[in-house]
Amino acid sequence: MTHDENIALAPTDLAVKRTDRFDGTGFSVKLSRFAHEDVELIKRTYEVVKRAYGLWLHIRDAAHLSDTHHEELLHQHILSEFKDRRFLLTLRDLGAATYKLGTPSRDVRSVLHDIRGGALLALIGAAAADARGETISSEELKSIILRARDHARIMRNAISDLHPILRAIDSGIKTHTMLDFIAKWARTTYRIGERKVDVTTDCAYDGFVCRYDLETAALDRVIYNHMNNAARFSADDSVSIVAVPVNDEMVRWVVSNSIYPEHNVNLRDSLGADLGLLYKGGHTRGGHGIGLSNCAELVGAAVGINDIDTLVSSGYIGASVRDHTYVAWFHWPTYKEPAKAKSNAQAS
């Protein structure tokens, strides 16, 4: 889609309704909300994704190693735990013990959805491809490392007492520019199941978009939910991510993928012309129907609107099909560093 088409998706005068900056909190639960078996699986999954990123940091800092040796070590070790069949089988059961106790509350189901999905799906997909003997390029390996970092941060955002020390650090101020987000997606390979999807990006904004790491994790929860849907249903194994500023305080994210005609028909049959209903949850093909409603709640918190109907009708979030391309969009506030106050000496 062209720049003008992306701008035409929704109004450009959308405003942030909240007076304080969204800090990324409010969408987490404690470990005690899960069955004991799930607590152990959650902790193990977190340690695996955190260890993968930590291993990269350790190898990167080994200055005595050549670049070639760096690559060899990364290829040998980064995906090793994700390729372990026993670990992958346990991941399939993540959440099962909690559900056996009865349908969990909405917040627990939301957290389970995002920690089972998020960047973890891509990590599993890459590990499975590596186990099948497919080539994992150096560029893809670098993106895999960032996926591991992202998912560890997503898990700390979603479960408040999973790693209290690092969550406390995440809650501190750490500004991120839009390029921090786009750079990890530009010209990357994204694997989900046995699919290998090419991701392209277009970013027309390079300013600050997050103030806190917990906010960054919340935004990543929104992006990965959209990305997983797009990769899963792409008809040509490609997905586009566009970020375009629509005014001084809002950036529009647009995630698009081509779709098969039958998918388009299914969408129209179940939702009519208002695909924004997807964000209310309950509409799904093989999932739980909760991922996009999670996105709506997080976007609503960021812009200061807690009603999904209002978010959809106003254009803060939405979806449509244009020329056999499924297009989903959402908005996130920009962040401007406050001007530093003049010292008394300067003022006088």
Give the list of residues 6+ apart from residue 273 with CB closer than 8 angstroms, or none: none
**Are the beta carbons of 312 and 328 closer than 8 angstroms?**
no
Spatial contact of 214 and 157, defined as CB atoms under 8 Å apart: yes
Residue 183 phi, psi dihedral angles, 5° rounding: -60, -35
Domain boundaries of the chain, sorted by first residue? 1-24+173-336, 26-170
- Distance CA(264)–CA(272), nearest Å, equals 10
> Which residues make Cβ contacts (< 8 Å) with residue 185, sequence separation at least 6?
199, 201, 227, 241
Q: Which pLDDT score is estimated for 234?
A: 95
Note whether 175 and 335 are within 8 A (CB). Answer: yes
User: In 10 A of CB 68, how many CB atoms?
Assistant: 8
Q: Which two tokens stand for residue 15?
A: 């405003």
Q: Which CATH superfamily is domain 1-24+173-336 in?
A: Histidine kinase-like ATPase, C-terminal domain (3.30.565.10)
pLDDT in tens, the chain (348 residues): 899 999 999 999 999 999 999 999 999 999 999 999 999 999 999 999 999 998 888 887 765 656 666 678 888 888 888 888 888 888 889 999 999 999 999 999 999 999 999 999 999 999 999 989 999 998 899 899 999 999 999 999 999 999 999 999 999 988 988 888 888 899 999 999 899 999 999 998 889 999 999 999 999 999 999 999 999 999 999 999 999 999 999 999 999 999 998 888 888 777 767 788 889 875 555 445 689 999 999 999 999 999 999 999 999 999 999 888 999 999 999 998 766 544 444 443
Q: In what order do the strands lie in the sheet with 195-203?
A: 188-192, 195-203, 238-247, 250-258, 325-333, 317-322
Beta bridge partners of 207: none
Strand-strand pairing, 208-212 and 173-177: antiparallel
Rounded to whole angstroms, the Cα distance separating 175 from 213 reads 8
What number of other Cβ atoms are within 10 A of residue 287's Cβ?
14
Nearest to 36 by CA among 113, 98, 115, 89: 98
Structure tokens at 218: 């919340």
Q: What is the C-alpha to C-alpha distance for residues 79 and 73, in angstroms, rounded to an integer?
A: 11
Q: What end-to-end distance do the CA atoms of the chain give, in Å? A: 54
Backbone angles phi, psi at 255, to 5 degrees: -115, 125
Q: At what angle do helices 120-131 and 138-158 cross, to 10 degrees?
A: 140
The token duo for 36 is: 């004991």
- Phi/psi-derived region of residue 35, left when phi > 0, alpha when psi is between -120 and 50, beta in every other case: beta
Amino acid found at 342: K
Q: What is the full DSSP assignment across 133-151?
A: T----HHHHHHHHHHHHHH
What is the C-alpha separation between 310 and 292, in angstroms, rounded? 15
Nearest to 289 by CA among 278, 298, 299: 278
